[in-house]
Amino acid sequence: MKTALLFLLSLLPASLMAANVTYQINGQAYEGYYVSAGDNTPLVLLLHDWDGLTDYEIKRAHMLADMGYSVFAADLFGAGIRPTKMEDKKQHTGELYNDRIKLRSLMDGALNKAVALGGNRNNAVAMGYCFGGAGVLEMARSGADLKGFVTFHGGLKTPQGQDYSQAKGKLLVLHGTADTAITMDQFADLASELESAGMPHEMITYSGAPHAFTVFGSERYREDADKKSWQRLSMFLNDITR
């Protein structure tokens, strides 16, 4: 397994280390991003949106590292695959939505790589945005033994035949009330499922916030909802990992 490390010392405090990381899962190359806040710091597995691992996730990873977390931003599409066209984004996400076994293996493989790089497997949380948020819920349903799961404006539907009976840890769902892609009916359905399964959860919606309300610089960005949801994330992580 080959690992390519690009240390970004000019961008980081002396206490932090960042690296692009090439890793293998089932014979295919993937390229994630790891930033370490030091030995034995809590680990966050960060799952990307439907355009793949981009500067957006890297920026979020550094924001988390500044708060004292080590972060592995996973690659769920493959090294060099960063789709920009709508049809390509749908194709890559659709492949994984239709092959949940592969999706789970990619998330598990990314977590294993994070641990191999020094991440703390016993004090870990998974979080994701949009497609990555749906991935986080898939990971929770798989029974992944993590302390917590966080989804920002992620897909909320539970696939047929799945449930939260094996889920561990706590779940935080951060959603936009004005999201027309993932409706409040789906939000309510998930709340009922979680309550029935006895999974500890907190679910928050932000008024006027559409889908992808945290994406800096986009027309959908809502600063108030972004700041409030990030603050709640910070409190959630601190409560369950410190």
pLDDT in tens, 77-104: 999 999 999 999 999 999 999 999 999 9
pLDDT category of residue 130 using cuts at 50, 70 and 90: very high
Does residue 87 sit within a domain?
yes
Does residue 1 sit within a domain?
no
CATH number at residue 164: 3.40.50.1820
pLDDT category of residue 13 using cuts at 50, 70 and 90: low
Element holding 64 (H helix, E strand): helix 55-66
Query: Which pLDDT does position 11 carry in this prediction?
Result: 47
What whole-number distance in Å separates Cα of residue 136 and Cα of residue 128? 6
Count of structural domains within the chain: 1
What whole-number distance in Å separates Cα of residue 42 and Cα of residue 65? 10
198-233 b/e with 16+ CB inside 10 Å = b?
Answer: ebebebebbeebbbbbbbeeeebebeebbeebbebb
Does residue 35 sit within a domain?
yes
Does residue 38 sit within a domain?
yes
Question: Which of 1, 226, 191 lies closest to 112 in space, CA to CA?
Answer: 1
- Could you tell me how many helices (H) and strands (E) the chain has, helices first? 6, 8
Give this prediction's pTM: 0.93
User: Is residue 34 pLDDT above 60, yes or no?
Assistant: yes
Q: What angle do CA 35, 37, 41 make, to 5 degrees?
A: 115
- 30-46 mean pLDDT: 97
Mean pLDDT across the chain, nearest whole number? 94
- Containing domain of residue 233, as a range? 9-241
Does residue 4 sit within a domain?
no
What whole-number distance in Å separates Cα of residue 179 and Cα of residue 204? 13
Does residue 2 sit within a domain?
no
What whole-number distance in Å separates Cα of residue 224 and Cα of residue 9? 32
Does residue 3 sit within a domain?
no
